[in-house]
C-alpha cells in the first residue's frame, strides 16, 4: 500500500471534526513550525532549509537559504520584522541566523555555541536567547554579532527548550538532564531547579496571559505533561499520555494543551480536568512540530518525511469550567 493511500484511509476514519491537507516537502523531517505574523503563511524548518507555505492550502512558495543544513527551531521577533532560525553541525558548532521579514535577507549570524542550537526565544525586538546541546544558554544582540552578551551555565546535558515569562526577565529552560531551571536573565542567576520529570524533557509552553501567576507546561519522554508555576517553584498537576509528547502548545484561550506525539497523533487535553478530550491521527510517524493559528481553531502539524498537515475543528468539544 502506498504511503498516500495509507494516509487517506487512516485520516478518513478520524471523523468529520477534522479536515486535512498534506504536503510532502521532501525526505527530511519537519522540526519546527510557525505561523507568520500576518497568519496567512506557515514557515517550516528542516534539513531542506527554511520553507514558506501558503495558509490554509499549504502550497510551497519559497525557500530561504541558510548557511547550516540542520535546523531545529525558529521564532519571529515581537516587532514582526525579523525571523530567527537555529541549528548547526552536531559536535562542531551551533548557529543562529536572523533574516529580515518578509524580505528574507540575512541581517545577523551567531555561531558561539559548540554544538547545535535546539531552541530559541526573543527577549525583545533586538535580543534573543538560545539553548544548545552544548548545555549553555546564550543571550545575543543583533548589533553585537561577534559575541554573546552573557551565558547561563547550569544544565548538565543538552538544553532542548526555553521559555520566557514575566516580561522577559525570567527564563525557564529544560532538556536532557530532566530538570526545569528558572533563571534571572539580567543577572544570570539560577533561581531554582524543578526535578519531578523522570526522563528528558522535549518541550515547554507558556499559558496565554491571565490574571494569575505564570503557568508553564512541560512535555517529557516519561509521557507526562506537567503543569508548573515556576515563579514559586510549584508543580500543580500532571497527566500521562499513551504516547510520548514531542511538542505542545496552549490553545488561545489557555484552557487546553495540544500535544503532538511519537505515534503521529494529536491529543487535546483539558488542562483543568486533566483528561484527553480528543485523540486524532495527524501524520504517519513522529510528529515533531506544531503551531496553532492565532485567530481560529486550526492547527498545523509537521514531522517525518517532510509531512505537513492542516487540522481544523479540533476544539469542537465544549470545555468544562475550571473548578478551584
Is the same domain home to 236 and 163?
yes
Is the same domain home to 209 and 225?
yes
Is the same domain home to 249 and 309?
yes
CA dist 8 and 46 (Å) reads 24
252, 276 Cβ separation under 8 angstroms: no
Given a cut of 80, whether residue 62 has pLDDT beyond it is yes
Query: Residue 127, SS3?
Result: strand
Give domain status of residue 89, yes or no: no
pLDDT band at 6 (very low <50, low <70, confident <90, very high): very low
Strand partners, 260: 247, 266
Give domain status of residue 65, yes or no: no
Give domain status of residue 192, yes or no: yes
Q: Residue 19 is part of which domain span?
A: 1-27+245-315
Among 240, 272, 303, which residue terminates a domain? 240
Among 240, 264, 295, which residue terminates a domain? 240
Q: Which set of grid coordinates corresponds to residue 126?
A: 533586538
Q: What does residue 22 show for φ and ψ, rounded to 5 degrees? A: -115, 140
124, 165 Cβ separation under 8 angstroms: no
CATH code, domain with 176: 2.40.10.480
Is the same domain home to 216 and 254?
no
Give domain status of residue 151, yes or no: no
CA dist 133 and 281 (Å) reads 31
CA distances from 295 to 79, 175, 242, 253, 298 (A): 18, 30, 30, 11, 9
Is the same domain home to 230 and 275?
no
Give domain status of residue 147, yes or no: no
Is the same domain home to 232 and 283?
no
Is the same domain home to 208 and 279?
no
Is the same domain home to 305 and 269?
yes
CA dist 300 and 309 (Å) reads 6
For residue 144, the model assigns a pLDDT of 85
Among 240, 266, 287, which residue terminates a domain? 240
pLDDT in tens, 22-58: 555 457 999 999 999 999 999 999 998 999 999 999 9
Give domain status of residue 181, yes or no: yes
pLDDT in tens, 213-250: 999 999 999 999 999 999 999 999 999 999 999 999 99
Residue among 93, 139, 140, 99 nearest 117 (CA): 93
Residue for cell digits 541549528?
A: 87
For residue 175, the model assigns a pLDDT of 98
Q: Which set of grid coordinates corresponds to residue 43?
A: 514557515
Provide the number of structural domains found in the chain: 2
Give domain status of residue 46, yes or no: no
pLDDT in tens, 63-106: 999 998 899 999 999 999 999 999 999 999 999 999 999 999 99
For residue 249, the model assigns a pLDDT of 97
pLDDT band at 324 (very low <50, low <70, confident <90, very high): very low
Give domain status of residue 111, yes or no: no
For residue 316, the model assigns a pLDDT of 59
pLDDT in tens, 122-154: 999 999 999 999 999 999 999 987 789 999 999
Is the same domain home to 252 and 235?
no
pLDDT band at 12 (very low <50, low <70, confident <90, very high): very low
Is the same domain home to 174 and 230?
yes
What element of type H or E holds 251? none
Amino acid at each position: 500500500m502506498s504511503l498516500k493511500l495509507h494516509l487517506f484511509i487512516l485520516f478518513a476514519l478520524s471523523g468529520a471534526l477534522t479536515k486535512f491537507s498534506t504536503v510532502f516537502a521532501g525526505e527530511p523531517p519537519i522540526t519546527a513550525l510557525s505561523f507568520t505574523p500576518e497568519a496567512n503563511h506557515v514557515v517550516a524548518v528542516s534539513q531542506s532549509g527554511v520553507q514558506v507555505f501558503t495558509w490554509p492550502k499549504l502550497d510551497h512558495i519559497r525557500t530561504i537559504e541558510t548557511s547550516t543544513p540542520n535546523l531545529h527551531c525558529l521564532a519571529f521577533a515581537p516587532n514582526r520584522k525579523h525571523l530567527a532560525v537555529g541549528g548547526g553541525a552536531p559536535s562542531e558548532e551551533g548557529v543562529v541566523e536572523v533574516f529580515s521579514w518578509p524580505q528574507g535577507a540575512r541581517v545577523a549570524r551567531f555561531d558561539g555555541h559548540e554544538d547545535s542550537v535546539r531552541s530559541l526565544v526573543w527577549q525583545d525586538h533586538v535580543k534573543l536567547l538560545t539553548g544548545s546541546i552544548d548545555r549553555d544558554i546564550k543571550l545575543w544582540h543583533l548589533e553585537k554579532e561577534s559575541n554573546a552578551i552573557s551565558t547561563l551555565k547550569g544544565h548538565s546535558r543538552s538544553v532542548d527548550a526555553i521559555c520566557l515569562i514575566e516580561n522577559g526577565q525570567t527564563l525557564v529552560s529544560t532538556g536532557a538532564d530532566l530538570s526545569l531551571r528558572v533563571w534571572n536573565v539580567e543577572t544570570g542567576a539560577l533561581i531554582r531547579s524543578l526535578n519531578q520529570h523522570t526522563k528528558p524533557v522535549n518541550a515547554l509552553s507558556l499559558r496565554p496571559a491571565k490574571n494569575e501567576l505564570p503557568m508553564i507546561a512541560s512535555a517529557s519522554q516519561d509521557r507526562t505533561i506537567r503543569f508548573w508555576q515556576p515563579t514559586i517553584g510549584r508543580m500543580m498537576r500532571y497527566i500521562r499520555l499513551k504516547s510520548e509528547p514531542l511538542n505542545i502548545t496552549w490553545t488561545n484561550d489557555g484552557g487546553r494543551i495540544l500535544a503532538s506525539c511519537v505515534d503521529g497523533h494529536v491529543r487535546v487535553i483539558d488542562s483543568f480536568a486533566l483528561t484527553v478530550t480528543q485523540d486524532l491521527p495527524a501524520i504517519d510517524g513522529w510528529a515533531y512540530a506544531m503551531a496553532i493559528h492565532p485567530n481560529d481553531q486550526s492547527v498545523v502539524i509537521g514531522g517525518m518525511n517532510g509531512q505537513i498537515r492542516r487540522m481544523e475543528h479540533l476544539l469542537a468539544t465544549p470545555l468544562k469550567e475550571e473548578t478551584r
